[in-house]
Amino acid sequence: MRTQYNFKISFLPLLLLSLFISFSCDNNSRFYNGMVSSAHPIASKIGLDILKSGGNAFDAAVAVHFALSVVYPNAGNIGGGGFLVYRLNDGEIGTLDFREKAPENSFRDMYIDNIDGKMEVNDKKSKIGHLASGIPGSVDGMVKIYEKFSNLEWDKLLDPSIKVAREGFEVTEKQAKGLNNVKESLLKANDHEIPFIRESEWKQGNLLIQENLAQTLEEIKESKRDGFYKGKVAELIINEMISGGGIITQSDLDNYSSVWRNPIVGYFKNHKIISMGPPSSGGIALVQLLNGAEQLETKSYNHNSAEYINTISEIESRVYADRATHLGDPDFFNVPQKSLLDKNYLTNRFSEIKSEIKTPSSKVKEGSFVGYESDETTHFSIVDKYGNAVSVTTTINGGYGSKVVVEGAGFLLNNEMDDFSVKPGYPNMFGLVGGEANAIEPNKRMLSSMTPTIIEKNDKLLMVLGTPGGSTIITSVFQTILNVIDYGMDMQKAVDAKKFHHQWLPDVLVVEKTTLSDELSNELSQIGHNIVKRSSLGRMDCILINEDGSLEGGADKRGDNIALGY
């Protein structure tokens, strides 16, 4: 029987909360009883209050997830899915796959049209509108987490989010900009009134009220899983599908189930890496990357020097080539996991890399062996006073997903169908290509780059981390780990450090602005790198456990992220 705790969520006034947030981040404050790092101040505050009230990391995870569905609508969700990686205080580890699935009526070539006698990909249908949506898994996942691990009562975990949805919250400057940018797409995708559109432009401090979403959360509070996959909310989802030409049915909702899976476990120097397995490509790719960094002794190079960037990008290119060919939903495809992580295979895979030579992607192929794998996503990391840790990454894929808001229910649907290989070799919205392993099939889970990760050192919890970022998730997590373990950075500096990314195809080196000096940029260009600059890569939410047991947060200043502890 669960112990009941009576508590009340009290929201700090916005100014006071902002001051507290600034102090917490900028001064690298350390805490001993618990910490939550997430993409939004209100969500982190809700999670922290759950921990303070006696809840464990799993209680806080459920509360933070529902909070993000309210205060971070571009990626937080009940209309999408994700992955949980956990480590209990006794060392038990595991993962939950609550990734979306293809509807029963989906089929391999559903996004290929006959245009003037030629079969062409119509990728607009996999990105915007009702046909882009997979079966949501988030609510089922949260219920499974609660039923296995929770300390508190279910309603206590949803009440704070219902309150914020009903009473509203003040949008941040970044949120206002995002809502203004997506206005036209939202208007095209919805023929009914939605809370994300206003006549005048959104401005920082404007109140976003979501009464329909509050009612949906009330249904989930009352009936848990059945409050979403059956009854009133399910009826609204099906009506939305019918009105918009979507294919999700009541049978799809009835049959959806998240799955407990074994984690990917690997080693980097004297550290144990615990991450997510297929249908996420993140865990396998991360362990491959770390093996490459150890084998090629990238620590010997100056951080973000030409030799370092080229060597790391060469490792990344080969790993992403493997990803495109060998990874998919393990329930449908025999993923060669053991072979991909084999030490001999990886030694051969990276043996030809030279720090001063850039290999064209056209000459990089997937590895071979005998026998037979968002940009708007969101991540949160939590450690409780008992020593339990959770790392959770969730998504609706693109920013604001398919742009479709379920009429009467108030939440956005995902556009995860674009994460399948809509046609072998054809890139998705993140430029990632795939093959047969990730082809569309009914009830199949689409391949993901989400990489929620937990790290141990000497059998003790060391780090909890993850990030959004579509195809750049894996490389952002990878480089953040190197920043801490190889370059001795504290958690916040490791998160703040400029990052870069290479994913095999397209053959470009993506770097954050101001990462490269003119001299360094010229040096990399001269050996063959085609450099593309982006405003930011990743929005990490991390926790580092110091030797004295204190918790040190790393919340990404590229967003509104904040790590709060007590």
Which residues are the active-site residues? 377
Q: How many CA atoms lie within 13 A of 239 on its CB side?
A: 12
Whole-number Å distance between alpha carbons of 436 and 564:
43
Tell me the torsion sign for CA atoms 280, 283, 401, 111: negative
C-beta of residue 466 within 8 angstroms of C-beta of residue 456? no
Whole-number Å distance between alpha carbons of 54 and 152:
8
Instruction: Give CA separation, 73 vs 145, 208, 399, in Å.
Output: 22, 10, 9
Cα–chain-centroid distance for residue 381?
11
At residue 52, what is the residue type? Answer: K
Give the relative orientation of helices 306-326 and 518-526 as an angle to the nearest 10 degrees: 50
Whole-number Å distance between alpha carbons of 149 and 134:
27
Burial of 10 (0-12, 13-18, 19+ CB in 10 A): exposed
Tell me the torsion sign for CA atoms 311, 537, 65, 544: positive
Q: Which of 424, 408, 428, 452 is nearest to 543 (CA)?
A: 452
Structural element, H or E, at residue 44:
helix 41-52
Please report where in the chains the tokens 């110091």 appear, as a residue.
Answer: 546
Whole-number Å distance between alpha carbons of 512 and 381:
24
Structural element, H or E, at residue 63:
helix 57-71
Phi, psi for residue 264 in degrees, rounded to 5: -80, 130
The β-bridge partners of 163 are none
The β-bridge partners of 454 are 274, 464
Q: Which of 195, 273, 192, 281 is nearest to 236 (CA)?
A: 192
